[in-house]
Amino acid sequence: MKETYYLNQEKALPRMPVPHDNTISSITLEDQFITFVLETDIRDKDDSIQYYKPGTKRLIIRYHLVWEDDIVVLYKMKHSPRHLSWLIPPRLISLDGKRLAEFTNRKHSLVYKRHYVDFNSIIIELYSDTQIQIKAEVDYIEYEWFF
């Protein structure tokens, strides 16, 4: 089942489900979409997804980019247990998506934490061995639910 949420409408912004604390098994960047495939069999693990769609086994989220060459990725590095700071300058992702796919090939699993939406834009926060923030101009988002 597919649901589409538009971020370029003059109406109020949509209320979209947040797959908080779900592990991302793969990320791709192709055909002007960033695609997150969440781990399989999430029905037993995540109450944030089960609240929206009971019985969900899998979720794929596709972000349609307004401009494919305008994705910014920021890494947040730990200096001490009390202080966190952003690396400067921001790291840009290449258009072929290889850098983006590397996020899921780390020693630690990649977890979806939260997202913030605005008109034609989104900020996605992920966590692995460090915090990762993806900023992109997005006009719509597709959620594909598998039961």
Each domain of the chain, given as residue ranges in start order, spans 2-11+18-146
Task: Identify which has the larger pLDDT, 34 or 87.
Answer: 34
At residue 56, the pLDDT reads 82
CA distance 111 to 61: 14
Is the pLDDT at 121 greater than 80? The verdict is: yes
Rounded to 5 degrees, what are φ and ψ at 103? -60, -35
Helix H or strand E encompassing 98: helix 98-101
Q: Which of 137, 123, 2, 126 is nearest to 61 (CA)?
A: 2
- Is residue 48 a contact partner of residue 31, using CB atoms and an 8 Å limit? no
Q: How confident is the model at residue 45 (pLDDT cuts 50, 70, 90)?
A: low
At residue 118, the pLDDT reads 92
At residue 122, the pLDDT reads 93
At residue 110, the pLDDT reads 86
Task: Identify which has the larger pLDDT, 104 or 79.
Answer: 104
Number of neighbours of residue 72 by Cβ within 10 angstroms: 14
Q: How confident is the model at residue 86 (pLDDT cuts 50, 70, 90)?
A: low
119-to-8, 111, 126, 144 alpha-carbon distances in Å: 6, 25, 21, 22
Pull the structure tokens for residue 16: 């979209």
Is the pLDDT at 139 greater than 90? The verdict is: yes
Proportion of the chain in helix, strand, coil states, percent, rounded to 5: 10, 50, 40
Q: How confident is the model at residue 55 (pLDDT cuts 50, 70, 90)?
A: confident
Say how far residue 11 (Cα) sits from the centre of its chain: 23
At residue 4, the pLDDT reads 96
Averaged pLDDT for residues 87-97: 55
User: Considering the chain, what is the average pLDDT of its residues?
Assistant: 79
Q: Which of 3, 110, 96, 103 is nearest to 53 (CA)?
A: 3
